[in-house]
Amino acid sequence: MKRFVIAITGASGVCYGKRLFDSLKSQSEVHVIVSDRGAELLNIELGIKPSYFEGENVTLHKATKINTSIASGSYKVDGMVIVPASMGTVGRVAAGVSGNLIERVADVMMKEKRKLIVVPREAPFSTIHLKNLLTLDQAGALILPASPGFYQGQNSVESLVDFVVARIMDQLGVEQDLMPPYDV
């Protein structure tokens, strides 16, 4: 069974993190970290609490508790997704600052050359945002903006979310049936 970390930070678009969790939890071991602002947005945008991310094969971690298994390079995980990724989180990870568990695990993923997917939901990007995203890309992270495509007839918010989550799952190497491959 593959093991993944999902981090939900304080950017709008927590629906992406929830949908990814819902898609992975039955087929993977999932560790979830929700920042304080991420928890606020879960309530504002979806009407749920971080406790939603509990269950079989799931561990919900406090963002303030850095001394935990997933913060160690010796604890092997198959990938981490920061979804949505706030620009504050992006900047701190790009600078190598580990002030919370999300930033520490992202740092570990990069130092161990493991898959780190960063899903920024900001628009527009400032020059500073772009430089931080470039720094993460150059350090080995994959930048996958929450930019859904429309070429397969997406006609609902759910189908737009599924488009992005399917791309994330494809990058994690996980089978998904949210979106078929594009076929002309």
Q: State residue 109's pLDDT score.
A: 98
143: number of Cβ within 10 Å: 16
SS3 137: helix
Q: Which amino acid is at 115?
A: K
pLDDT category, 184, cuts 50, 70, 90? low
Q: Does residue 96 lie within any of the structural domains?
A: yes
Q: State residue 96's pLDDT score.
A: 96
Q: Does residue 150 lie within any of the structural domains?
A: yes
User: What's the CATH number where 101 sits?
Assistant: 3.40.50.1950
Per the structure, how many domains does the chain have? 1
pLDDT digits (tens, 9 = 90+) for 18-69: 999 999 999 999 999 999 999 999 999 999 999 999 999 999 999 999 999 9
Question: pLDDT at residue 180 above 90?
Answer: no
pLDDT category, 181, cuts 50, 70, 90? confident
pLDDT digits (tens, 9 = 90+) for 120-157: 988 899 999 999 999 999 999 999 999 988 877 778 89
What predicted TM-score, i.e. pTM, was given to this entire model? 0.96
Question: pLDDT at residue 179 above 90?
Answer: no
Q: State residue 150's pLDDT score.
A: 83
Q: Does residue 180 lie within any of the structural domains?
A: no
Six-digit token pair at 85? 């990724």
Q: Does residue 28 lie within any of the structural domains?
A: yes
Name the residue range of residue 50's domain: 2-172
Six-digit token pair at 109? 């993923």
pLDDT digits (tens, 9 = 90+) for 108-121: 999 999 999 999 98
Torsion of CA 34, 123, 161, 14, to 10 degrees: 20
Q: Are 178 and 152 in contact (CB under 8 A)?
A: no
Q: Does residue 65 lie within any of the structural domains?
A: yes
**Which residues lie closer than 8 Å to 175 by C-beta, 6 or more apart?**
27, 169
Question: pLDDT at residue 85 above 90?
Answer: yes
